[in-house]
Structure 1
Amino acid sequence: MRPSRSMSRRLLRNGLLAALSVSLFPLFALPAAQAIPVVIPAGADPSVIRGDDGLFYAFVTSDDWGDGQGMHNVAMFTSFDLVDWMFAGDAFDSRPGWHGDKGTWAPDVVAEDNGYAMYYSLGDDVNPCIGKASAPELIGPWTDLGRAVFCAKDVGIGGTIDPAVWDDGTTKTMYVGNFRGIYAIELNSDGTAPEGDPVQVADDRFEAPYIYERDGYYYLFVSAGNCCNGQRSAYRVLAGRSDSLTGPFLDRKGQDLNEGGGALVLAGSEQWGGPGHNTVVPDDAGDDWMVYHAIPRSSITLPSGAPNRKGMIDKITWVDGWPEVGDGSPTSTAPEVPLFDLPVHVSYAEKGVEGDIASGGDEFDVVVRIEAPADKAYSGNVWLQASMPDYSMTDPLTEPIAVDLEPGEVIEETFTYTVPGNSSQGIYRLFACAGPTTDEIVEYAAHVRVKSGGEETD
């Protein structure tokens, strides 16, 4: 490997980027106690799907992040590697109005003929419903069905929220439930109405079902406890498995999830409370990763007062056919990260603590690490961009730096940034981008959000 080389660039961008410091997300090579979330500001109830373009798309519960943008109605994020995520807009401009002025939450996005379907929860405790929207591309535009797929009263069960759809190409089966039993319900061919009678597959201790197939078994992941009870939240993930989509789902002791069973997979820790509502995503190396939300105990609410549920990842190890996550607590598999067949990997060489405040004239060096895959060379460019307080992306903040790497070669490029004196207050994020041109990004690394403008804002 050649010695590292570096290049310094002065970034003076007319106030487009208000602040930058060495306070970066420490996801790589830090103890588990220091590991932090991947989807911010909020990533509750994540649904993750990989598109034909190779990007991962995450869809999360609607929340007011307290960012001055109002309600984010099913926020969307994109990532090349499940680690660094970029906000990509809201799926809906406003709440679907067919069931009153109700919030939308717990989306589940799946591929269907000619595009994608998003199932979501909407309603109240009396008659909660499942809605559906469709889009030709994962980024949208999303067109709502304009009515319920079904509501609790339609199918004769309570708790019809938290949809998860399994589509085997022949039939569609939806799993729903929150603390009134988990049920499997067959849908019609276009996924717009129930076709079969509900079959109970887990008892009333659970919500947030998710189905994953592996080695001839269907694994039913469920969450138990209260997701959002602050410091006292006992939310946790359990699992059972079956050779049938409708069960019985048994834990490793052979006990039915309908009769008190459930193998514990993930629970809270001293740093993180309420981990749950998970999905499972494989990487290109064949390893499985649990994507879920958890609440930092040091900051349990967002500025809006909503629960501060961050998006998290952890590696799943399969032991005798059963899923396990590290020591059973959030981020306990760090610093391991998913492996993907990308043309190049970019990251930040130094990462610190979130939330530093910067003012005009402050200067920072930012070191970007660029690594070619072990089996192939990479020739392209690296540059910096930023997302603004309204989440729009700036033009490149630097001229692209050309890099020409041998297989497995790692270099570092140093960018120096001077905070402009006319910057407005807000929260910004920096992205180190790589690609053939600034119009064709193939990887990026996300800098932590930084509060700026000389003083901290609420």
Structure 2
Amino acid sequence: MPLLLTALAIAAASAPLAEAAPQDTPAAAPAGGFNARLVGDIAPVHDPVVIREGDVYYVFSTGIGEGGQRILSSRTSRDLVTWTRGRAPFERLPEWATKAIPGAKNMWAPDISYVNGRYRLYYAVSTFGSNRSAIGLATSATLDPSKPGYGWRDEGLVVMSDVKDDFNAIDAAFVADAQGRHWLSLGSFWSGLKLFRLDPTTGKLLHPAERPRAIASRKVPAGAPSIIEAPYIFAHGGYYWLLASYDYCCKGVNSTYYTVVGRSKAIEGPYVGKDGSAMLQGGGTMLLRADLREEQRFRGPGHAGHLRDRDGTDFLVYHAYDREKSGVPTLRIVALEWGADGWPIAKGQ
């Protein structure tokens, strides 16, 4: 969940996947991992998500910067290592969003997927500390601005939360299950992470009046929020895997964010960690570490998005705060290895 984005920008100055041509080759992991080699326009990046079209990788992230990048940020790469600024999808917030969420300035925590011949870009609109929030949807035939059919068509509101709800409608992520059903996970703080059923044709809620499924929460003192956000579900090895970020982002080098993972045979859960701990009770297995040692350069790794590349390699993109550059949120990428026990390992954090 993006907080204090203006301060982060100042600090900077100091899923179904996209189809590609068969001849396209996956990115080869560099020695030492991707994070040891990342260059180019990799900061400020907050709440990233990644997809591939053809031989180009696209990262979308919370709006930070100037012009359209302030609304929603975009970057591209041909090897997952060297990144350049992309064309921003929007120049301004949609009119419906400014009316629904007074005070909103940009889009937060996007998600990108390829469904039924079009790219779906889900995005959040909110203000700090409020659960008066909304998820919107935009679609385009291609991500490449040079191709015919490029152009983002805003499809409007998908789901909204307000003070009467026990969830916060931000941090959305699309997933299709093995039965072809479409779902949207979302949530930040309040009572935790939720799962909504989607209409496969429209990408909007299948049953708007239906209560969402709870998929993760944390035990907290009475009256305190559930300090969990950024759900992302993907399939591997006969399981659905749920990523979630625990503790606090957006505090620069003082951020305590870390990412956990749990798995379930059913997309609706229950999700559990390697030790059997329930994610509905704050359990799960740590995947991206919480490491506040003074020598650790990148702090608070979280808000992970998943990509399965052409050769079947699984990648995570996420952000962490760079201690050597005033705590600016920075793009990070790791390849997942799958252990003999069937659980993922993020190497090269």
> Partner letter of residue 130 of structure 1?
I
Q: Are 1:188 and 2:167 an aligned pair?
A: no
Larger radius of gyration: 1
Residue in 2 that maps onto 1:201: 215
State the distance in 2 between where 1:300 and 1:186 align. Answer: 41
Q: 156, 174, 183: which one pairs with 1:173?
A: 183
Task: Please list, as runs of the form range in 1=range in 2, the aligned pairs for 1:163-312 lying within 5 A after superposition.
Answer: 163-168=172-177, 170-180=180-190, 181-189=192-200, 190-195=202-207, 196-203=210-217, 204-269=226-291, 270-301=296-327, 308-312=328-332
Asked which structure has the greater RCO (Cα within 8 Å, sep 6+), the reply is 1
Q: 19, 43, 46: which one pairs with 1:44?
A: 46
Q: TM-score, normalised by structure 1?
A: 0.59
Q: Alpha carbons of 1:285 and 1:299: their partners in 2 closer, same or farther (altered >3 Å)?
A: same
> Partner letter of residue 59 of structure 2?
A
State the distance in 2 between where 1:179 and 1:300 align. Answer: 26
Task: Please list, as runs of the form range in 1=range in 2, the aligned pairs for 1:3-22 lying within 5 A after superposition.
Answer: none
Q: Are 1:111 and 2:114 an aligned pair?
A: yes
Q: Are 1:318 and 2:344 an aligned pair?
A: no
> How far 1:283 sits from its partner (Å)?
3.6
State the distance in 2 between where 1:33 and 1:127 align. Answer: 36
> How far 1:298 sits from its partner (Å)?
1.7
Question: Which runs of 5 or more structure 2 residues have no equivalent in the other structure?
Answer: 1-28, 145-149, 218-225
Task: Please list, as runs of the form range in 1=range in 2, the aligned pairs for 1:402-441 lying within 5 A after superposition.
Answer: none
State the distance in 1 between where 2:164 and 2:112 align. Answer: 22
> How far 1:313 sits from its partner (Å)?
0.8
> How far 1:151 sits from its partner (Å)?
0.4
What SS does the corresponding residue of 2:188 show, helix, strand or coil? coil
Q: 91, 97, 104: which one pairs with 1:99?
A: 97
What SS does the corresponding residue of 1:231 show, helix, strand or coil? helix
Task: Please list, as runs of the form range in 1=range in 2, the aligned pairs for 1:347-426 lying within 5 A after superposition.
Answer: none
Task: Please list, as runs of the form range in 1=range in 2, the aligned pairs for 1:18-37 lying within 5 A after superposition.
Answer: 29=31, 36=38
> How far 1:152 sits from its partner (Å)?
1.1
Q: Are 1:58 and 2:63 an aligned pair?
A: no
> Partner letter of residue 108 of structure 1?
D
Q: How many residues align?
A: 291
> Partner letter of residue 81 of structure 2?
V
> How far 1:295 sits from its partner (Å)?
1.1
Q: Kindly indicate whether the alpha-carbon contact (under 8 Å) linking 1:127 and 1:158 is maintained by their aligned counterparts in 2.
A: no
Q: Kindly indicate whether the alpha-carbon contact (under 8 Å) linking 1:38 and 1:310 is maintained by their aligned counterparts in 2.
A: no
What SS does the corresponding residue of 1:72 show, helix, strand or coil? helix
Q: 71, 76, 84: which one pairs with 1:78?
A: 76
What SS does the corresponding residue of 1:227 show, helix, strand or coil? coil
Question: Which runs of 5 or more structure 1 residues have no equivalent in the other structure?
Answer: 1-26, 302-307, 333-458
Q: Alpha carbons of 1:184 and 1:70: their partners in 2 closer, same or farther (altered >3 Å)?
A: closer
User: Higher helix share goes to which structure?
Assistant: 2
- Give the root-mean-square deviation of aligned CA atoms: 2.5
What SS does the corresponding residue of 2:82 show, helix, strand or coil? coil
